[in-house]
Amino acid sequence: MNKRKNSRRKPYFGSVRFFRHLILTTIALLIIIPAGMAIYFKEQNKRLVKESYGLYSENLALQSQSDMAKNSEAVKETEPVQLSSGKYGEILVDTSSWELLLVNDTHPLSPQFKVNLVEIQPGQSVDARIVKDLQDMMAAAENEGYQLHIYSSFRDLKRQQSLFNDCLKRLQEEGLDYQQSFYESKAKLALPGTSEHQTGLAVDIAPKAYFYLDEERGGQKEAVWLAENSCRFGFVLRYPKDKENITGIRYEPEHFRYVGKTVAKFLTENDLALEEFYDILQKSSTLKKME
């Protein structure tokens, strides 16, 4: 009897059962290992992005003090610069003027930056030095039948941080991972410390009857009027179309920045972003030094 039982037992290795188990194990490993690696690298990438943003925030003050300390200094009395360009013509500009303050990712505000604010509309304040020109622009628009409203003006660092974090959180809740949410938020909102709204020189203006600040608003008659006429009052459309790679911010048909009437006219007529204007100034200065 025992002999019959032993004769029925077949070796496991090399058997059908062995190969079945081997195949199932191999398939399981082929699924588990790549999935595990994908999760691992995703978490690592998420951690690196968070650390990068954390380091950015921690070092912002140091970077600001070294690169942009001049923002908090009193404007020095200097001779205006005659900028001459075969392509853009000539312009007489005081490069040290507060009107030309450049604020973006690479030019953050100094932690000591302060601004004298005046309320221009309930809950909305701007730099006291631009109040008259802003009021004149709003009045001119109203005289021509355009009803405008200021939806956003000065925002302090804390407010900008809150808006950025809210956008970051909302995008993650919509299904984007941290890295995607971060860069999507950065395209919509300037990083805290790099927003023009913190200068008091920028305003978001839209029709009273149109509450959504989006790209669709750019085609409305009020937005068209502002884009064409704001330069008469010292303002420019700060983040125009097809300039995202230069400004770092997506097209915002409602965002207008005060740069003074001379520079505003020059930028509008030559279709230049403020970053491009600074690049021209830098090249002009370099050429003069070489001469």
Tell me the DSSP string of 73-127. Answer: SPPP--PPEEEEETTTEEEEE-TT-GGG---BTTBPPPTT----EEEEETTEEEE
Specify if 261 maps to a domain: yes
Q: Which of 167, 146, 128 is nearest to 223 (CA)?
A: 146
Specify if 178 maps to a domain: no
Scan for tokens 């005659």, then name that residue.
Answer: 82
Q: Show the domain range for 224.
A: 68-155+195-290
252 is catalytic: yes
Element (H, E) at 256: strand 255-258
Specify if 170 maps to a domain: no
Specify if 222 maps to a domain: yes
Neighbouring C-beta atoms of residue 182, cutoff 10 Å: 22
Specify if 175 maps to a domain: no
The angle that helices 157-173 and 178-188 make with each other, rounded to 10 degrees, is: 130
Element (H, E) at 282: helix 274-290
Specify if 15 maps to a domain: no
Count: domains in the chain: 1
The active-site residue out of 196, 222, 252, 254 is: 252
> Tens-of-pLDDT digits for all 291 residues of the chain?
555 555 556 676 667 776 677 777 778 777 777 777 767 666 666 665 565 555 555 555 445 444 444 443 433 434 565 665 556 767 778 878 899 999 998 899 988 899 999 999 999 999 999 999 999 999 999 999 998 999 999 998 888 888 888 888 888 888 888 888 888 887 778 888 899 999 999 999 988 766 555 555 556 888 899 999 999 999 999 999 889 999 988 889 999 999 999 999 999 989 999 999 988 887 776 434 433
Question: 264: domain CATH number?
Answer: 3.30.1380.10
Cβ contact 153:197 at 8 Å: yes
